[in-house]
Structure formats: C-alpha cells, structure tokens
C-alpha cells in the first residue's frame, strides 16, 4: 500500500492499494466512532461496488444505508443534495456518523458538500473510482454543486477523514474515462515535475497506475498544503483550465470530457506563451505530442474571440483580469495576469 499524508488544517491520509475497497469498513472503524454510515454512490458504480463496501462496513458492525443517484453531471444540482439530506435525516444520522462517497468526481463533490453542510458538517471518506477523481478531485477538500447559472457555484472546503484509492476500480471504466484522467496527469508533469513528464513520454502510464496516481496526488498535496484556500500557488493547478473551461462551455459540456478540454487548453495557452516569448520554444509541441500519445485532442476550431468571451464568464476571473497559468518550460509554471480586454489578443490568431 502507498500512503500519501495530507497535512491541511485537518490532516488525513490517502491510501492507494489494489483491493482496498474491501477494507473500507476497517478503515472507517480505525478513524471514526460512528455507528451509522451512509454510502452515497451513483447508478453506474452501485452495481459494481456497493456490496463490497457495504459488506466490509457490516463486518465491522456499522449500521448502513445507501443513497444512489442517477449517474452524470446532470445530477449535480441542489435537488439531488436535497434528496441526500432526506436520506441522512430519515436514517437519523448524527454528528458522529459518517458518509462514504463512492464514485467519480460528481459523486465526491456532492457527497462531500452534503457532509460539509448536514448538521453543520459531518465526517466523510472518499472512495474515488474514476482516474480523474483519483488523481485530482479527491485531493484538496473542494466540494460543491452546480447551479443553472454555472458549475460549482455553491460549495464548501471540507477535508475528508481519508481517501481510499483502489486502482482496480478503473478496470470497469470505459476508455474515454481513462483518457479524461490522463489530461490532468499530464498537467501535473507540466506544472511541477519535468522528470514525471519524461516518464509519461517514455513509459505507458496505464501500466504504472499506482505510481502515477501516487505522484499526481503527492504533487497536488504539496500545492494544496501550501495554499489551502486557493489564494496563490494553488492557481497553478488551473494550467490549461481557463481555455479548457471555455471549450467545455462552448461544447455545452457534452461530447468532450474535462480532460480532453484541458489538453487542448494546455497546448493553446503554451503556444500563446511561446509566441509572446514567455515560454521556452518547443514546449507546446512536446505537450501536444504527449497528449496525442494518450489519445487526447490538442486543438479545436474555436476563434480567439469565442474562447475569450467564454473564458470571461469564468468565476476565477477577478478585478477585470484573468490569471493565466503559463509554463516557463516543462516542469516550471507561473501565473501571469492578463486584462480581460487583452485576453483575445493574448490567445492570438
Ligand atoms: Mg480539472
């Protein structure tokens, strides 16, 4: 088992181990005095894994309840949260009881938000089952839900009691979800770790998933521990995301995954950086080649105007400027503020 310790305000461990899903009960027992556990999962994941988690919880004497919501981003709204609250209240969950989030990013975000707000906050354990959630959204304590006006507009920072990552859960995923995670994995190499980027260039990441997950989670842990509330360094994690979010928006969030959009965003912003002399020449080509190797797209036909307009709605914009994340070279990143009215010109062409 690999363990990554996270020392945020409330410290916790991320355990990475094949088959750890069957030890969820043991882990919960070691960390909590709960009597009851509500397992929150979705219709894709429940048939594969809910009984394994429930059996391990029952074996440790926990009383359990399962809440299953319809899989997909369309479920990520306050109506689903209200249904989760009803399950928790009807099951008479108290402040000492815990939630387990079993699923991808949508599940972790919503179950985490329910845990952050029910009875003003109860503990929860994350069992992320998608590659994207394992390397990215399960670290950092961000929880939340979409509003009709935009994604993740309501939420809270709430650190889990523990994160249990079982790489075997990836075996049941369709390929596009693996590709989705690869976008964020390549991002970590770009922003912080040239040696890891070279490893991804030389090896097949999918054959070394435990190591790859450990590296990504450790990088994110380091960044988040230094900047829990996203005031500075944490912005580097948004590399490729300003344009990536704009692209997702222009696609109306269908037909393109987050990781695909981030891949395009990373390549585009790095090309723009090179054109302005802010990034070492050849960097964008290297990122593009690596993305293509993992079947990620690297360009799109949207105009700079359309991208800039879509990006301006981004909630991360502040004071009439957007903080772009640029690379000096592979492995070294920095933020670069650009006035909103100059964004279109910066993206270029
Ligand atoms: Mg992301």
Question: What is the Å distance from ligand 1's center to 56 Cα?
Answer: 32
* Annotated catalytic residue within 221, 258, 271, 286: 258
Question: What is the Å distance from ligand 1's center to 86 Cα?
Answer: 30
| 120 given a catalytic annotation | yes
* Annotated catalytic residue within 184, 214, 248, 274: 184
Mean pLDDT, to the nearest integer, of 165-191? Answer: 91
Q: What is the DSSP letter of 205?
A: G
* Annotated catalytic residue within 230, 233, 329, 332: 230
- pLDDT band (50, 70, 90) for residue 315: very low
Q: What pLDDT is attached to residue 231?
A: 67
Question: What is the Å distance from ligand 1's center to 265 Cα?
Answer: 11
28-42, 170-184, 298-312, 314-328: which has the minimum mean pLDDT? 314-328
Phi and psi at residue 91, to the nearest 5°:
-85, 0
Question: What is the Å distance from ligand 1's center to 217 Cα?
Answer: 13
Share of the chain above pLDDT 70, in %: 97
Mean pLDDT, to the nearest integer, of 158-186? Answer: 91
Q: Is the pLDDT of residue 33 over 90?
A: yes
- pLDDT band (50, 70, 90) for residue 8: confident
Q: Which domains does the chain have, with CATH numbers?
A: 2-172 (3.40.50.1970), 175-348 (1.20.1090.10)
Q: What is the pTM of this model?
A: 0.90
Q: Is the pLDDT of residue 319 over 70?
A: no
More confident residue, 212 or 313: 212
16-30, 219-233, 317-331: which has the minimum mean pLDDT? 219-233
Q: What pLDDT is attached to residue 289?
A: 98
* Annotated catalytic residue within 36, 76, 220, 271: 220
Mean pLDDT, to the nearest integer, of 310-332? Answer: 81
Q: Which residue has the tokens 């380091």?
A: 222
* Annotated catalytic residue within 23, 52, 76, 142: 142
Q: What pLDDT is attached to residue 36?
A: 98
Question: What is the Å distance from ligand 1's center to 21 Cα?
Answer: 25
Question: What is the Å distance from ligand 1's center to 264 Cα?
Answer: 13
| 70 given a catalytic annotation | no
| 258 given a catalytic annotation | yes
| 220 given a catalytic annotation | yes
Question: What is the Å distance from ligand 1's center to 37 Cα?
Answer: 29
Question: What is the Å distance from ligand 1's center to 59 Cα?
Answer: 36
Question: What is the Å distance from ligand 1's center to 58 Cα?
Answer: 35
Query: For the segment 77-107, what is each residue's pLDDT rounded down to a tens digit?
Result: 999 999 999 999 999 999 999 999 999 999 9
* Annotated catalytic residue within 158, 187, 238, 271: 238
Q: What is the DSSP string of 96-165?
A: T-EEEEEESHHHHHHHHHHHHHGGG--EEEEEE-SHHIIIIITSS-EEEEEETTEEEEEEEE---SEEEE
- pLDDT band (50, 70, 90) for residue 211: very high
| 207 given a catalytic annotation | no
| 142 given a catalytic annotation | yes
Question: What is the Å distance from ligand 1's center to 30 Cα?
Answer: 31
Q: Cβ contacts of residue 214 below 8 Å, gap of 6+?
A: 2, 4, 16
Q: What pLDDT is attached to residue 184?
A: 96
Question: What is the Å distance from ligand 1's center to 145 Cα?
Answer: 15
Question: What is the Å distance from ligand 1's center to 87 Cα?
Answer: 30
- Dist. CA 32–CA 235, nearest whole Å: 33
- Tokens of residue 92, six digits: 């008479």
Residue 303 burial by Cβ neighbours in a 10 Å radius (0-12, 13-18, 19+): exposed
Cβ–Cβ under 8 Å, residues 195 and 335: no
């Amino acid at each position: 088992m690999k363990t990554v310790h996270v020392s945020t305000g409330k410290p916790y461990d991320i355990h990475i181990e094949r088959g750890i899903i069957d030890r969820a009960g043991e882990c919960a027992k070691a960390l909590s005095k709960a009597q009851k556990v509500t397992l929150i999962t979705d219709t894709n994941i429940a048939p594969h894994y809910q009984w394994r988690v429930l059996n391990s919880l029952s074996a440790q004497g926990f009383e359990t309840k399962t809440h299953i919501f319809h899989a997909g981003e369309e479920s990520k709204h306050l109506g689903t949260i209200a249904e989760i609250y009803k399950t928790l209240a009807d099951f008479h969950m108290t402040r000492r009881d815990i939630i387990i989030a079993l699923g991808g990013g949508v599940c972790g975000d919503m179950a985490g938000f329910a845990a952050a707000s029910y009875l003003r906050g109860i503990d929860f354990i994350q069992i992320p089952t998608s590659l994207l959630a394992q390397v990215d959204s399960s670290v950092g304590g961000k929880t939340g839900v979409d509003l009709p006006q935009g994604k993740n507009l309501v939420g809270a920072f709430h650190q889990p009691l523990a994160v249990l990552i079982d790489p075997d859960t990836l075996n049941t995923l369709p390929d596009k979800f693996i590709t989705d995670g690869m976008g964020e994995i390549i991002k970590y190499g770009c922003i912080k770790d040239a040696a890891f980027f070279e490893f991804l260039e030389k090896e097949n990441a999918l054959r070394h998933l435990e190591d790859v997950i450990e590296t990504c989670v450790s990088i994110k842990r380091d960044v988040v521990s230094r900047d829990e509330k996203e005031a500075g360094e944490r912005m580097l994690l948004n590399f490729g995301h300003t344009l990536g979010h704009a692209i997702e928006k222009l696609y109306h969030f269908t037909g393109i995954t987050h990781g695909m959009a981030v891949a395009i965003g990373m390549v585009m912003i790095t090309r723009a950086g090179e054109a302005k002399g802010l990034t070492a020449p050849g960097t964008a080509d290297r990122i593009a080649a690596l993305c293509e190797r993992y079947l990620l797209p690297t360009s799109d036909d949207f105009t700079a105007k359309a991208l800039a307009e879509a990006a301006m709605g981004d909630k991360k914009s502040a004071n009439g400027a957007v903080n772009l994340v640029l690379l000096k070279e592979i492995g070294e990143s920095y933020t670069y503020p650009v006035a909103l009215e100059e964004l279109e010109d910066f993206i270029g062409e």
